Amino acid sequence: MRITRYTLIALVSGTNLAVAQQFQSTPVLGWNSYNQLACSPNELSITEAINSLADRGFVNAGYNFFQLDCGWASRDGQRNATSGALKIDLTRFPNGLLPLSNLARSKGMKWSMYSDAGYRMCDTQAPSPVLGSLGHEAVDADLFKSLNAEYIKCTT
């Protein structure tokens, strides 16, 4: 008998335990802005990407996540003065991110965003001027929640 983690559990417990794992028929599929835009997305490029994915049938094919990667946060090294959360770069996203999240969701996608678990986010400038979430996880989580983010890519 080949012993797996599940058969070992059954043997140890002395019961006839059957454990079934179920997987999706496809892996999680989505689009990540970094692959096309690196750290330079803006409102127009993200709007066009969302519409293109929907119009070309990618959403119907299962590409359900829309990931806004680096480049959305302010490069001024400051947090939102009111909430303490990361600031949205209003030069690149003059209407904020909620309209984009709403657009993606209206097209059948789940809104996803990037942050960093460290002091600084990824950036093409070194050292990065963009703040990360370290020490501010709760207020940043509130920001992501307010934007209806369903997944956060958080790197270190």
Residue 142: Cβ within 10 Å count: 13
d(CA 104, CA 51): 8
For tokens 């996540």, what's the residue? 65
pLDDT number for residue 25: 76
In the predicted structure, residue 94 carries a pLDDT above the cut 90: yes
d(CA 69, CA 41): 8
In the predicted structure, residue 85 carries a pLDDT above the cut 60: yes
pLDDT (tens digit, 9 = 90+) per residue, 130-153? Answer: 999 999 999 999 999 999 999 999
Predicted confidence band of residue 4 (pLDDT cuts 50, 70, 90) = very low
Residue 50 and residue 104 in contact, taking contact as beta carbons nearer than 8 Å: yes
Region 102-106 average pLDDT:
98
Say if residue 129 is exposed, middle or buried (CB neighbours under 10 Å; 0-12, 13-18, 19+): middle
In the predicted structure, residue 17 carries a pLDDT above the cut 80: no
